[in-house]
Amino acid sequence: MIDTIRSATGDPLAVVAAMTLILGVSGLGAQDAPTPPEDTASVRLMILGTYHFASPGQDAINVEAADVMTPEKQAEIRAVVDDLAAFAPTKVALEYPRDRGETLDSVYQAHREGRHELTPNERQQLGFRVAARMGHERVHAVDWRNDFALDEVVAWAQQHDPSFMAYFQELRERIEREGTREQGTMTVGEILRRTNAREEVHETFAPYMRTAEVGADSVYVGIEPVVQYYERNLRIFANLARIAEPGDRILVIFGSGHSPFLRAFVRGHPGMVLVDPLDYL
């Protein structure tokens, strides 16, 4: 799903150059490569794409979140935590701005000490619980947020590209309809298994490529938000690389829209091994 973020910086051309280099190696959108034999030097990363347990309203398409604080949903979440703990992560990385990491850590510490009741978002419901289960002293904030200029694309397409508007409207309605249905009929674990299936991750990439086409015969208005989203994900990946140490097993919990990008970047790094969440869920 296309994420809507804030505050842009950076050189888009530099981002595209870096993106091209990485994707030339890894093949974004391709099937996940076979996992090589484990070694003590490699960093193993599990990219867990999630739906938002408490919709923050920051995405281009938002699904109203079902209540995950009911006894039934809490039991489902605990079962997922059991599954993720079997990965034995040495670090847990979460979708929270890196420059506000101390705030996230202070809340995590309060949770460990019994002074904080978990709020209904996936960072805390999954991330805090797994980290605490593993005895981690801290969690890692690795997000970076910038602008996502989709409004400009929509405004231009309304005047010049009705086919994109029809595509976007159908996409919005389908995601909202299916998201509501899934949260009402499926367990948390079942939703995460579907979200992290290879075919679903590949399909998640499609809206960005469709957006890039908008205005391609004139103003290229669709390129800008795609470049911005690549930049965000490259910075997230750089933040992951910064915290990684030889032999680490890092659980990365992010919205599912990030999955195809982060998986591709991990596959392209010579010192990293991508772990399929479905091996554990």
- The domain segmentation of the chain, as residue ranges, is 12-279
> At a CB cut-off of 8 Å and minimum separation 6, what does 241 contact?
269, 272
Compute CA 244 distance to the chain's CA centroid, rounded to the nearest angstrom.
Answer: 18
What band does 19 get if pLDDT is binned at 50, 70 and 90?
very low
Type of residue at 184: G
pLDDT in tens, 100-141: 999 999 999 999 999 999 999 999 999 999 999 999 999 999
Q: Label residue 1 by pLDDT band (50, 70, 90).
A: very low
